[in-house]
Amino acid sequence: MSKRLPKTIVGFDPGTTAGLAVLNLSGELLLLKSLRHWNRSSIILEALSVGDPVLIATDRAEAPRAVRELAQSLNLAVFETGKEEALEDKISVINEYASRRGVSIGDDHQASALYAALKAFNSFKNDFRNIELNVERRISDFKEALIDEVKSDLIRGIPPERSIRERLSQTTVQSFDANLVEQLRKQLLEERRKVEVLTLKLESLKSELRKTEFKKPAKEAGLKSIVSLTPEASRLTSLSPVLGRREKGSGELLQVDLFTELTSKKAKSEVSNMVVAAATLKGDLRKIFKALSLKGVRILILDADAVDEEAVKEAAYHGLLLCDIRSLPLEKQDERLYVRRSDIRDLLKRKRSLLTEALIERLTQLSLK
């Protein structure tokens, strides 16, 4: 059984450089860092790496848009200070906590995020303490009653181990239905968050593709524009004519790595581009897809008869778009293979719902294991 992640309060200070602070519900600091060139997806992944967020906090009287959007992505409430705090008060709170906990604060962004998380925690501090005392008292009462029952069972000739097992079993049965419902509810929320993170990754990929569209083409000898096909550029709907003639290159188009037979070993050692084409896949598909994902591959093109629904779903789980060569034709130019960025964008639009359904189905299967 995997270790349960603690519930957390996330302090977030957006800006060119973002500050992120994560506290558990006992007030202990789990994460404090600054992030440059961040996006919502990277903030979510950082927060989820150390705990299960239950509240997003800001040090502002009114939450900035980026804070509200982060909370909305995680389906959480936002804590706001309600009024603008004096700088001296903020410094006092932060310094007192840092001194008592031995925390080193790197910059103003971290300080603002930490203050936001501390302000939110302190607003619940007394209620948290009352809950701790109440639970401890109930556990103590239950413990005393259980000991008393086991002792009386011993007098009746019932062994202590059997008595404890039966008494605990009775308690478990009484609360089983409620616990099951709560467990399923939490699992559903967790799967929804995973889907949100994966959707953000997909949006990030589309954003990267859009950015590359505006880059100037490299000026290389022998590489001509293929806005309209020329005698030097031809459209391919089969891998057979070019297998075995892979060369390096770059330009206006995205270059494709080509394999006659792709294995996980080749995926780890021979892949260098974000688009890969292969006639066949050999070996465990999960290992191949995982290796490609780790190498930064985002699209895998196969011959039409090599693609099936299960493979598409498995690839989607690993962040790969698996398609046949008819869906994303290759362009051959100077013995090199390329794909058009416009074709990729069109394919993403057509396959968006399919990818989302595959991800949701896969996550549902995992939650039921």
**What pLDDT score was predicted for residue 22?**
97
| C-alpha Rg value of the chain to the nearest Å | 28
pTM, to two decimals: 0.46
Residues 115/59, Cβ–Cβ less than 8 Å: yes
Fold of 7-128: Nucleotidyltransferase; domain 5 (3.30.420)
What DSSP string describes 27-71?
S-EEEEEEEES--HHHHHHHHHHH-EEEEEE-SSSS--HHHHHHH
For residue 352, give the nearest of 137, 199, 145, 235 by alpha carbon.
199
Whole-number Å distance between alpha carbons of 13 and 296: 30
Would you give the DSSP letter of residue 196?
H
Other beta carbons less than 10 A from residue 219's beta carbon: 7
pLDDT tens for the chain, 369 residues: list them. Answer: 456 789 999 999 999 999 999 999 999 999 999 999 899 989 999 999 999 999 999 999 999 999 999 999 999 999 998 888 888 888 999 999 999 999 999 999 999 999 999 999 999 999 999 998 888 888 887 888 888 888 888 888 889 888 888 877 765 444 445 555 566 666 677 777 777 777 777 777 777 776 665 554 444 333 332 222 233 444 555 555 544 444 333 446 888 988 888 998 999 899 988 899 988 888 888 889 889 988 888 898 887 655 777 788 788 877 788 888 888 888 877 778 888 888 888 888 877 777 777 666 666 655 555
**What pLDDT score was predicted for residue 232?**
40
Within the chain, where are the H helices? 40-50, 65-73, 87-101, 108-155, 160-213, 264-269, 285-294, 309-317, 341-368
Judging by beta carbons within 10 Å of its beta carbon (0-12, 13-18, 19+), is residue 173 exposed, middle or buried? exposed
- Going by C-beta distance under 8 Å and a sequence separation of 6 or more, which residues neighbour residue 355? 202, 316, 321
The pair of structure tokens assigned to 14 is: 């957006």
For domain 215-368, is the CATH number 3.40.50?
yes
Length of the chain: 369
**What pLDDT score was predicted for residue 364?**
60
CATH 3.30.420.10-classified regions of the chain? 7-128
Residues 330/337, Cβ–Cβ less than 8 Å: yes
End-to-end CA distance of the chain: 12
Residues 198/319, Cβ–Cβ less than 8 Å: yes
CATH 3.40.50-classified regions of the chain? 215-368
Q: Which residues pair with 236 in a beta bridge?
A: 330
